[in-house]
């Protein structure tokens, strides 16, 4: 019974670290997506886009 507790505590620590890493990666992904959206909006506002250079109409 007593030798069961240390592995569980280690596992809990490892799980927490993994969750933190996952959250950080997810946040980085969201930030990247936001930057891409921002670039697209600024490109849409540029004169080149308004002149129809990127549009296929």
Residue 53 in any domain: the answer is no
The confidence band for 25, taking pLDDT boundaries of 50, 70 and 90, is confident
- Residue at 14 is within a domain: yes
Name which residue leads in pLDDT, 37 or 31: 31
DSSP designation for 54: S
Answer yes or no: is 35 within a domain. Answer: yes
Q: What's the total number of domains in the chain?
A: 1
Specify the residue for token string 């569980």: 8
Look up the pTM and report it: 0.39
Domain that holds residue 15: 2-41
Residue 7 falls inside a structural domain? yes
Measured CA distances, 29 to 3, 17, 39 (Å): 40, 18, 15
User: Is 50 domain-assigned?
Assistant: no
pLDDT of residue 10 exceeding 70: yes
Task: Evaluate whether residue 48 is within a structural domain.
Answer: no
Per the domain annotation, does 56 fall within a domain? no
- Cα 33 to Cα 13: distance, rounded to the nearest angstrom: 30
Tell me the backbone φ, ψ of residue 56, rounded to 5 degrees. Answer: -105, 15
What end-to-end distance do the CA atoms of the chain give, in Å? 73
Q: Which of the four pLDDT bands, split at 50, 70 and 90, describes residue 17?
A: very high
Q: Is residue 9 part of a domain?
A: yes
């Amino acid at each position: 019974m007593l030798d069961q507790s240390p592995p569980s505590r280690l596992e809990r620590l490892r799980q927490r670290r993994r969750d933190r890493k996952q959250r950080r990666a997810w946040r980085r992904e969201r930030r990247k997506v936001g930057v891409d959206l921002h670039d697209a909006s600024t490109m849409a506002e540029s004169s080149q886009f308004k002149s129809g250079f990127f549009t296929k109409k």
